[in-house]
Amino acid sequence: MNFSVTPLVASALAAAIPLMIAALGELITERAGVLNLGLEGMMLMGALASFVAVTHGSGLVLGAVCGILAGALGALVFAAITISLQANQVATGLSLTILGTGVSAFAGRQYVGFRAPAVFDDWPIPWLGQLPLIGPLFSLNVLGYFALAALPAIGWFVFRTRPGLELRSVGESPSVARSLGLHVTRIRYLATLFGGGMAGLAGCYYAIAQFKMWQDGLTSGNGWIALALVVFASWRPWRVALGALLFGGVTALGLWLQTVGIKVSTFALASLPYLATVVVLVTISADQQALRRYAPASLGKPFFDGD
């Protein structure tokens, strides 16, 4: 049997990238004090929009843009209802997930089983892509490299720039931020739209980079794992990457075990990522002081500043 772990690393990275993209977007949204549980719905809408775009002759770039816009549109609806109309964020987010799942299933029924005519292929970097163990890190497609670049960029933005400080201020105390002249509603809208766009891009990754086809429920509930990643990461970008790789590794473990000849129930393997999510959330929730210390103080709380 071949016990090389390089294929496991490659599969873990492939599974981790869309989780990282979606979780980084949600991190920005939650840093502004907005809790959007509609991640799964926005990912499915982005996946369908990008797949339909490339199926009807659009290029890959335009397909990705369509995915981003579809996710952002879902986020805009969520923002209008929760930020402007002050509706409950949890209920609205769950409704957005149900809406996105239903719309994608209905609108995509004629594309079920179709292969994408254009896909994001891997672009291995010469020499580096051949390295053992870490080679897969240099053999990604363009969306994978984007995710790696977005990680330090978002970390720098959140903790090293004035707009990042304003974002965190709004998430901690919108009333104080408003008293200092910050436009709370505007900042929350922009953060929510960014999170939606990133969710749509993550859906695009599933449709035309990883699976390269359309099927109902293409994201397989990974939007919920991305939400859990934000909590796991304590709302810090670098820990999002660590968590995404961990969950990606759990997801890829089943395929790797089958590759090396170890027989495990497919049902048990399919449940591993969700079991890992439950275990992580239970473990994190046990330390309430740490949660309160790192979570934005106004997360999920409505605020109207008249903007």
Note the pLDDT tens digit of each residue in 16-33.
999 999 999 999 999 999
Question: What CATH number did the domain enclosing 259 receive?
Answer: 1.10.3470
Q: Is residue 213 part of a domain?
A: yes
CA distances from 202 to 30, 122, 126 (A): 18, 16, 27
User: For residue 299, is it within any domain?
Assistant: no
Encoded tokens for 68: 């981003």
**Range of the structural domain that residue 159 is part of:** 6-294
Residue 302 lies in a domain: no
Residue 289, C-beta contacts closer than 8 angstroms, at least 6 positions apart? none
DSSP bridge partners of 282: none
CA distances from 231 to 47, 150, 189, 242, 252 (A): 24, 19, 21, 12, 22
Which two structure tokens, joined as six digits, stand for 31?
């840093």
Structural domains counted in the chain: 1
Residue 277 lies in a domain: yes
- For residue 300, is it within any domain? no
| Local structure of residue 289 (DSSP, 8 states) | H
Question: Does 250 reside within a domain?
Answer: yes
CA gap 24, 199 in Å, rounded: 9
Task: Centre a 10 Å sphere on the Cβ of residue 109 and count the other Cβ atoms it contains.
Answer: 10
Residue pLDDT tens, the chain, 307 long: 445 667 778 888 999 999 999 999 999 999 999 999 999 999 999 999 999 999 998 899 999 999 999 999 999 999 999 999 999 999 999 999 999 999 999 999 999 989 999 999 999 888 887 787 788 888 999 999 999 999 999 999 999 999 999 999 999 999 999 999 999 999 999 999 999 999 999 999 999 999 999 999 999 899 999 999 999 898 999 999 988 988 888 877 766 666 666 676 666 667 777 777 777 777 777 777 767 778 899 999 999 776 5
pLDDT tens for 176-211 read 999 999 999 999 999 999 999 999 999 999 999 999
pTM equals 0.92
Would 12 be classed as within a structural domain? yes
**Closest to 193 (Cα-Cα) out of 13, 7, 36:** 36
Residue 305 is assigned to a structural domain of this protein: no
